[in-house]
Structure 1
Amino acid sequence: MEKNFKVAALYCFADLKHYHQLQKPLRDLCQANGIKGTLLLAKEGINGTVAGSCAAIEALVHFITAQPALQEPELKYSWASKMPFHRMKVRLKKEIVTMGVEGVNPLEIVGTYVEPEDWNVLIQDEETILIDTRNDYEYVLGSFQGAIDPRIKTFREFPEWIAKHEGDLKKKKKIAMFCTGGIRCEKSTAYVRGLGYDQVYHLKGGILRYLETMPKEKSLWWGECFVFDERVSVSHGLEECGRELCRACRYPLNAESKLSPHYEEGVSCDACYNTRSDADRQRFRERHKQFQLLKSRAMHSYQER
């Protein structure tokens, strides 16, 4: 399968006092080059995932890294067989990853970074407690062997989970955390370090870098890694897994899921059918029509470039 779209996932914590001034030039650059995806700007830095042609993504990364405060972002590249986004958004936010706790600053205190090649040794240590900081629907698709699933719906729930499991954390000498690309763990390890825990570790580059660099035969990862774009999930080597999202509830679907009588594209699936009314489903049908139209226009516009 030919992969024509370069995907860039990036973040950088920085003291970005004038972040609002970057919104327009970033949006203009992306629109001029056919880049789609989402970039978040806040006083604490930049975060986002975007896709486009190789030249377009290179131009964007050059612009971002030319900013004095953003010269060394955490940056990961992959490829997609089709454009994984339908529009471009550059948003101003209070946080680039929302935990909702004041005073958590990864620039001041953070966990110890662990390279993918050293990760297996750490998480197999009997003195290590391993925590998946992602949302519950992401864990369902795949995780590291032995990882704890906090069963959170959003990252805002993570501090409460930590508070409730203080006893479990103190039973082990080391706390290891991981997430998709690394950004949640910047905040989660900073938060836990701030509570007084010293031996706190996180996977540098997140799951994506691990899957990119770790040979499958040596890997301790099971399943797939959920990603927040139209690829839905990737496996070792960052290969697409062929899943789709239910447009009503964003639950990841495979070929078997789509055989259910409750599945209707853009409207419902097994996971959400009984939680929606007939009026909801009719509204989703209308929304899906608009979505298909937008997707068609976006692809036509890109092909004309």
Structure 2
Amino acid sequence: MQLYNTLSAKERAELIEAAGKERLTISFYQYAKIENPQELRDMLFLFWNGIDVLGRIYIATEGINAQLSVPAENFQKFKEHLDTISFLKDVRLNIAIEQDNFSFLKLKVKVRHKIVADGLNDDTFDVTNKGVHLNAVNFNEILEDPDTVLVDMRNHYESEIGHFKGAVTPDVDTFRDSLDIIEDDLKEHKEDKKLVMYCTGGIRCEKASAYYKHKGFKQVYQLEGGIINYFRQVEKEGVENKFIGKNFVFDERRAERISEDVIAHCHQCGKPADTHVNCANEGCHLLFIQCEECAEKMHRCCSEECKEIVALPYEEQKKLRKGRNNSNKIFKKGRADYLPYLSKKD
């Protein structure tokens, strides 16, 4: 019984290109009590692998968080199968704004302690006591209220390339870092301000809204379905788009353009740019913003040191990587001190 990938990303990409068929990039999540995450994981992997689903899916006792790619011709099979699972019946599916057949190249279904690393003890508060969900129209309306505080629940490298007008964008590396910072900054306004939150697809706000209600905030709201669902509604209903720039996404696309505004800057030269890249040196792989001019000049590397390394024969590069652990550098996305232009927001 195959419960793991047998093809490399390169092999999968070649098959996708040869097939020449449209694929849909989709995300969804659901908080639910799952008694046996491993059993669900194996069942989903077997079915999804059979209909050529690719993606990154986390399952825990608290629910499921999925970002994936499915052949358009198999979408109905995919949806019908989800509907056979009681807690996933009619779950909201966020279909990507900009499609890319190569957004995912492997199927990874993993059992985790949590579906989002929030650092919270869920036993200390009611995770089902969530904030009020807002559609695009209601969201735009509440932003006009002077008593509203709009908070971006994403990380610095996400909000750097795009965010809602007037939003508070915490300078944090992780979701868990933002929770206490936001509470401390707004501690004097738990009674009188409307706390409105948003994130990419809604999952971080689901937990954060319940947490902040537990912490004493009286008026807590969240953008239903996050930025992805918001823009779908904006297009469908013709309401004003209040998001500027790009929406960062966690797949090979890295971002989808929501407005034509470019609000970030190249981390190397400071010119307007909002394209995230990973350093071409596989021993570095730092995520940072790079304009096309610097990409050409630096051979898509983040530093002169990395540029020198990628010029070496591949076998020599492998020897240099052996035994090195760059996880902290990779985790601190865009934080390298040798990048002179960081977090330049308008």
After TM superposition, the score normalised by the length of structure 2 is 0.71
Which residue pairs with 1:55 in the alignment? 73
Q: Does 1:245 align with 2:277?
A: yes
Task: Indicate conservation of the 8 Å contact 1:129/1:169, yes or no.
Answer: no
273-282 or 194-203, larger mean C-alpha shift: 273-282
- Could you say if the C-alpha distance between residues 19 and 65 of structure 1 is closer, same or farther in structure 2, counting changes exceeding 3 Å? farther
Give CA deviations for 1:130-154 in whole Å, capped at 9, x if unaligned.
1000010000111000000111101
Amino acid of the structure 2 residue aligned with 1:228: F
The within-5 A match list for 1:155-170 is 155-167=175-187, 169-170=189-190
Instruction: Please state whether the residue corresponding to 2:160 is helix, strand or coil.
Output: helix
Partners in 2 of 1:146 and 1:235 — Cα distance? 19
Q: Does 1:255 align with 2:273?
A: no
How far apart are residue 19 of structure 1 and its match?
2.0
Instruction: Please state whether the residue corresponding to 2:212 is helix, strand or coil.
Output: helix
Task: Indicate conservation of the 8 Å contact 2:190/2:216, yes or no.
Answer: no
Give CA deviations for 1:190-227 in whole Å, capped at 9, x if unaligned.
11011011200000010011112214871111111111
Task: Indicate conservation of the 8 Å contact 1:136/1:150, yes or no.
Answer: yes
How far apart are residue 32 of structure 1 and its match?
2.0
Structure 1 unaligned blocks of 5 or more: 288-305
Matching residue within 97, 110, 134 for 2:130: 110
Task: Indicate conservation of the 8 Å contact 1:180/1:208, yes or no.
Answer: yes
Q: Which has the greater radius of gyration?
A: 2
How far apart are residue 8 of structure 1 and its match?
1.3
Instruction: Please state whether the residue corresponding to 1:129 is helix, strand or coil.
Output: strand
Partners in 2 of 1:42 and 1:227 — Cα distance? 22
Which residue pairs with 2:248 in the alignment? 226
Count how many residue pairs are aligned between Structure 1 and Structure 2.
276
Amino acid of the structure 2 residue aligned with 1:139: S
Which residue pairs with 1:178 in the alignment? 198
Matching residue within 15, 20, 26 for 2:44: 26
Instruction: Please state whether the residue corresponding to 1:95 is helix, strand or coil.
Output: coil
After TM superposition, the score normalised by the length of structure 1 is 0.80
Which residue pairs with 1:80 in the alignment? 99
Matching residue within 96, 106, 110 for 1:91: 110
Instruction: Please state whether the residue corresponding to 2:287 is helix, strand or coil.
Output: coil
How far apart are residue 158 of structure 1 and its match?
1.9
Q: Does 1:44 align with 2:76?
A: no
Q: Does 1:146 align with 2:166?
A: yes
Amino acid of the structure 2 residue aligned with 1:193: K
- Could you say if the C-alpha distance between residues 144 and 274 of structure 1 is closer, same or farther in structure 2, counting changes exceeding 3 Å? farther
Percent of paired sites with the same residue = 26
Task: Indicate conservation of the 8 Å contact 2:190/2:218, yes or no.
Answer: no
- Could you say if the C-alpha distance between residues 217 and 190 of structure 1 is closer, same or farther in structure 2, counting changes exceeding 3 Å? closer
Which residue pairs with 1:291 in the alignment? none
Task: Indicate conservation of the 8 Å contact 1:36/1:85, yes or no.
Answer: yes
How far apart are residue 16 of structure 1 and its match?
1.3
Structure 2 unaligned blocks of 5 or more: 1-19, 260-272, 280-284, 320-346
Amino acid of the structure 2 residue aligned with 1:213: Q
Partners in 2 of 1:19 and 1:170 — Cα distance? 37
Task: Indicate conservation of the 8 Å contact 2:49/2:107, yes or no.
Answer: yes
What is the RMSD computed on CA atoms of the aligned residues? Answer: 3.1
Matching residue within 248, 258, 269 for 1:236: 258
Partners in 2 of 1:60 and 1:286 — Cα distance? 40
Partners in 1 of 2:78 and 2:60 — Cα distance? 18
Task: Indicate conservation of the 8 Å contact 1:15/1:45, yes or no.
Answer: yes
Partners in 1 of 2:47 and 2:251 — Cα distance? 21
How far apart are residue 11 of structure 1 and its match?
0.6
111-120 or 243-252, larger mean C-alpha shift: 243-252
Give CA deviations for 1:7-41 in whole Å, capped at 9, x if unaligned.
11111111111222111121122222222111111
Task: Indicate conservation of the 8 Å contact 2:199/2:205, yes or no.
Answer: yes
Task: Indicate conservation of the 8 Å contact 1:51/1:57, yes or no.
Answer: no
Task: Indicate conservation of the 8 Å contact 1:14/1:70, yes or no.
Answer: no
How far apart are residue 171 of structure 1 and its match?
8.0
